[in-house]
Amino acid sequence: MAFMETLLSLISLLSSALVLHAIVEGPKPITLSLIHPFSPHSPFYPGNITDMEKIDILIQGTNARMYHLFLMMREQNWNGSSEVDDIVATVQFTGVYFVAQVGIGSFPPSPGQKGMPYWLVIDTGSYLTWVQCEGCNPCFPLQQPNFPYNRSQSYKPIPCGDPTCPTPNQDCFQSFCGFKVYYGEDPPASIAGAIIRETLTFPSDFGGTESYNSLFLGCSFKSYHYEFQEPNKIGGILGLGFGGPETLHFLNQVGKKRFSYCLSNFEHTNSQLYIGGAKMVGPQVLSTPLLRGSNEALYYLDLQDISIKNVCLRLQGSFSGGSAIDSGCPIIVLLPDVYARVRIGFVQYFTQFHIQPYDSGSRPRDLPTLDLCFPNLAGFDRYPTMTFNFRGADLDVQPPSIFSVGRNYICVLLKSGPITMIGAFQQMQHKFSYDFELGDRRRGEIGALRFAPQDCGSPA
């Protein structure tokens, strides 16, 4: 099925370069190749699994994302004498996140090596960049050696109480500037460690590499309740999220004003994330404000309504908590009341073609674990679009990003949850640029999200 092939290939997310050509900010933007989890080259590669298993992994990933980002995430003060339950620690990962290699530290005279390469998860829902360090106890399993910070020539410790410590409201880790984060509950996954200064090395858009010196980096020494699949190659996180101390924000540290990506429907096309680069301009480019929201690490948008095949659902006033956009969440999540009304909208659309949703009695066993599924009638191809009506811009989502289609089913990629969130599937085949030079700060805007349709599998 073409739709199933397109849907599964979307797991490659963040594919294809988003090359922007005007108003370049600095001579060398950071360009990171991102590897999707179902690629044989990915540290998350699950092996040869079925299409249904892939869909279920994405659903499980959405559930995990909601749990960790919205229900239980919190920060607490680290106390060097705390018991195990109070220690900060590690994020739980599923097979739906995207990773890039980053060089960390300086270890001359290794030929051509400006840093030890580590796979870091690209996370727009976290503002802290960290790696697991040598001497950790307890540690999560890692195939390569933990980062040997003491042997790096660019390592700079930050003493406890130093005015440059970016986390002054947290207690120190031993005698150093400390950090800690809890994710989840019962029991919480957590990491704890020291904030250090280090050199990070990235590929350059103009070839070669570009090193950034004396960046703040979390050095994780204690982790609890991890769920990495072994053998694990993931060393930490590259945080591109909002919130937290501004001095820790990655874009601020490298002196960039924007980052951008393009989500592809070509499974085997490597994607690229640009940090810095050009301002996104053009006749098809739309813009909507980036806002603060209830979860400080995420980016929010002013979602005003949702349309199905150009029919507005009249949801004005239903998004008082805002709507987040997150490339780390696979599929759409809607507040329960909004979900119920959107569900009715899809049922009404398919009813005109005499297609009724499966109920508990008629539902086949071999369906994805999604709530709203319809029989797939022979020859049916009149799938609707779904439009997110933001302030000043409409994001038109095409059918391959909305439906999982199999031999005997058409399932809608929707979930009910604690927030409205635009997932990675709904960002397919668009260029997106998070631009922090734009936005009216007096109105609470932190920047602007610019986007336009793009065949992300083709060279830009």
Q: How far apart are CA 454 and CA 460, in angstroms?
A: 8
Q: Are 52 and 102 contained in the same domain? A: yes
Range of the domain at 365: 286-453
Q: Are 258 and 374 contained in the same domain? A: no
Which of 217, 243, 277 delimits the end of a domain?
277
Q: Are 244 and 328 contained in the same domain? A: no
Partner residues linked to 181 by β-bridges: 191
- Report which of 118, 114, 113, 123 is spatially closest to residue 133, judged by C-alpha positions: 118
Partner residues linked to 189 by β-bridges: 183
In a domain, 42, yes or no: yes
Q: Are 262 and 352 contained in the same domain? A: no
CA of 358: how far to CAs of 1, 63, 373, 386, 404, in Å?
A: 20, 23, 6, 21, 15
In a domain, 358, yes or no: yes
Q: How far apart are CA 152 and CA 55, in angstroms?
A: 42
Residue 210 contacts residue 27 (beta carbons within 8 Å): no
In a domain, 458, yes or no: no
Q: Are 259 and 298 contained in the same domain? A: no
Which of 277, 303, 330 delimits the end of a domain?
277
Peptide bond into 418 cis (omega under 30): no
Peptide bond into 108 cis (omega under 30): no
Q: State the CATH number of the domain containing residue 246.
A: 2.40.70.10
Tally of domains within the chain: 2
Q: Are 255 and 316 contained in the same domain? A: no
Q: Are 346 and 372 contained in the same domain? A: yes
Q: Are 267 and 394 contained in the same domain? A: no
Residues of the chain with pLDDT under 70: 1-29, 31-98, 110-113, 183-188, 204-207, 226-230, 265-271, 457-460
Q: How far apart are CA 146 and CA 141, in angstroms?
A: 9
Q: What is the pLDDT of residue 49?
A: 66
Q: What is the pLDDT of residue 94?
A: 36
DSSP for 280-324? P-STT-EEEEEE--SSTTSEEE-EEEEEETTEE---TTS-TT-EE
In a domain, 460, yes or no: no
Q: What is the pLDDT of residue 77?
A: 35
Q: Are 162 and 19 contained in the same domain? A: yes
Q: Are 271 and 328 contained in the same domain? A: no
Q: Are 385 and 345 contained in the same domain? A: yes
Which of 277, 297, 330 delimits the end of a domain?
277
Q: Which helix (H) or strand (E) holds 3?
A: helix 2-9
Q: What angle do CA 386, 389, 394 make, to 5 degrees?
A: 80
Q: Are 368 and 248 contained in the same domain? A: no
In a domain, 51, yes or no: yes
